Amino acid sequence: MKRSTQRRLRHGALYALFVAAVVTLVLIADWKAIRTNFLDREIFDEIWPDIFLEGAKNTVLYTAIAFTGGLVVAFALALMKLSPIGPYRWAATVFIEFFRGLPVLIVIIMFAFAIPIAFGAALPGEARGAAITALIVVSAAYMAETIRAGIQAVPQGQVEAARSLGMSETRTMFTVVLPQAVRIIIPPLTNEFVLLLKDTSLIQVAGVGLGQKELTNFSSDALNTTSNATPLIAAAVLYLVITLPLTQLVAYLERRTKKAR
Amino acid sequence: MTAAIEVRDLHKSFGDNEVLKGIDFTVEDGQVVCVIGPSGSGKSTLLRCVNRLEEPTSGIVLVEGTDITDPEVDLDAVRSRIGMVFQSFNLFPHMTVLDNLTIAQRRVKKRTKAAAEVVARTNLEKVGLSEKSEAYPAHLSGGQQQRVAIARALSMDPDMMLFDEPTSALDPELVGDVLDVMRQLASEGMTMMVVTHEMGFAREVGDKLVFMDDGVILEEGAPRDVLGNPQHERTRAFLSKVL
Ligand SMILES: Nc1ncnc2c1ncn2[C@@H]1O[C@H](COP(=O)(O)OP(=O)(O)O)[C@@H](O)[C@H]1O
Ligand SMILES: [Mg+2]
């Protein structure tokens, strides 16, 4: 048999296997049960549009706050890691390694419950504020290394050229280094944004008030009151509506950066 | 009259490696001084100590009479009076040629956008690249990039210019255009300190030639004398390799 014939046969067999698997799944699935438990129209009408106006809105809001705060803290940490002064570098390293080494859930519980006990004062915004602060801190620990690597990827000659023109260190950072670093760090930061968006589902362990539930919290509570999984499916679809464009954007940006090299 | 650059007993070490071992050296106002020597002899380090891109370990560096090693000195102000041209051009790749030339004028010299652009266009014309003002550096040849880099430095109206092997990264056929621009600058009376391997340029344009070897100045004098009648064996050995 010729090589090309062999390859065609092998591909054909793989396709057949795939189709057989899908058909089997469709046949053995209990479509009636699926429709009544996961895709119930009446239950959907009950939760819509609240799942969107409260759940999705709060997910996006919490993500935006945590990401913006995380970015600012991460930038400060990156500068500390690049500092010629030892104690700054060490403090940043300890911070980064500590918060990257813990489950996010533990950090949220620490911030929401342990800090008020240990210091006799809660973080602002009550339990919800504490949980978001925890997300800021954790995402900052992840993003700091990305930003530091991006800054360091800008050739030293760029800094020297700017300094020899009389630009100050700060001016050089903002007009010469960061604009070039941004191109390198945007794809990984977008990934971090998606991870953070999903991590907002953990805020609920701190306990939130009326109208403050994010998507997961909202839908799992609806699941409990209705004893039906339709709210979960709706939440899943809403998450994908937000995250899929973002992950596609990352893929596009990465392709573009590769091409630009 | 105070010298443009005066270096006294300059030492520079990187860790245990002493790279400059006591340099005394003067560039008078309006002079063109060329520095030659083998790779690793400390030429770039000396040049970079003059605008303190490199921190001298000891010694004095006077720029127009100001000791720039003094911690109180306004280094940014001093640097804006010293143009520097690098071997690898170091244009800002995210800015157009025009922005490369105006950014420091606006941010450091506080010129208006319009005033900065007038200066920028004058200098672009001087280096023969008026039509490239809207181009990005990546779309220019090495020779064009280096001429833009010279125009960028000139746009700060510097009192003197430092060149660190400005033509070493260029294809041979592009070297001439850059040297022409430098020749033109010299004829206009610009004070220049040029690290170079272009002996023709040094002989023709230089007022003084300095030969460095292993962190010291081995000999210096009129280019014709140093090149035609070198006093040291090491100078002779170096010149026989490059001439
Ligand atoms: N930033 C640095 N750190 C450590 N060593 C350096 C640094 N810059 C230069 N050197 C060393 O100093 C010596 C002189 O370098 P340089 O001044 O660049 O020589 P040249 O320009 O004459 O080739 C070399 O041995 C080089 O390895
Ligand atoms: Mg050198």
Query: Do the chains contact at B104 and A158, CB–CB below 8 Å?
Result: no
Helix (H, G, I), strand (E, B) or coil at A18: helix
Whether the model clears a pTM of 0.90, i.e. scores above it, the answer is no
Q: Is the pLDDT of residue A251 over 50?
A: yes
Contacts of B109 in chain A (CB under 8 A): 166
User: Look-up: residue for tokens 């300095």?
Assistant: B210
User: In angstroms, what is the span from residue B195 Cα to ligand 1's centroid?
Assistant: 14
A178 inside 8 A of chain B by CB: no
Q: Who wins on pLDDT, B214 or A250? A: B214
Q: How many angstroms separate the CA atoms of B193 and B182, rounded?
A: 11
Each of the 243 residues of chain B gets a pLDDT tens digit; together they read: 789 999 999 999 999 999 999 999 999 999 999 999 999 999 999 999 999 999 999 999 999 999 999 999 999 999 999 999 999 999 999 999 999 999 999 999 999 999 999 999 999 999 999 999 999 999 999 999 999 999 999 999 999 999 999 999 999 999 999 999 999 999 999 999 999 999 999 999 999 999 999 999 999 999 999 999 999 999 999 999 887
Return the pLDDT at A261.
46
Long-range contacts of B17-26 (CB under 8 A, 24+ apart): B18/B215, B19/B45, B19/B215, B20/B45, B20/B46, B20/B49, B20/B56, B20/B57, B20/B215, B21/B214, B21/B215, B21/B216, B22/B59, B22/B216, B23/B59, B23/B215, B23/B216, B23/B217, B24/B217, B25/B210, B25/B217, B25/B220
Report whether A104 contacts A34 (CB < 8 A).
no
* Average pLDDT, rounded, for chain A: 90
Q: Which of A164, A186, A259, A261 should we substitute to test contact with B (largest number of B Cβ atoms within 10 Å)?
A: A164
Query: Do the chains contact at A167 and B88, CB–CB below 8 Å?
Result: no
Q: Is the CB of B146 under 6 A from ligand 1?
A: no
Contacts of A175 in chain B (CB under 8 A): 103, 107
Tell me the average pLDDT across A202-229.
Answer: 87
pLDDT, one tens digit per residue, over A192-212 is 999 999 999 999 998 888 888
Domain parsing of chain A, residue ranges: 1-35, 39-260
Q: How many angstroms separate the CA atoms of A113 and A148, rounded?
A: 32
Q: SS3 letters for B86-125?
A: CCCCCCCCCCCHHHHHHHHHHHCCCCCHHHHHHHHHHHHH
Q: Who wins on pLDDT, B149 or A182? A: B149
Rg of chain B over all Cα atoms, to the nearest angstrom:
18
Question: Is domain A39-260 classified as CATH 1.10.3470.10?
Answer: no
Q: B-contacting residues of A 214-243, CB under 8 Å?
A: none
A162 inside 8 A of chain B by CB: yes
Q: How many angstroms separate the CA atoms of B75 and B95, rounded?
A: 25
Return the pLDDT at A222.
84
B94 inside 8 A of chain A by CB: yes
Return the pLDDT at A260.
55
Q: Which of B103, B161, B165 should we substitute to test contact with A (largest number of A Cβ atoms within 10 Å)?
A: B103
Characterize the bridge pairing of strands B66-67 and B5-14. Answer: unpaired
- ipTM, two decimals, is 0.94
Return the pLDDT at A259.
62
Q: Is the CB of B19 under 6 A from ligand 1?
A: yes
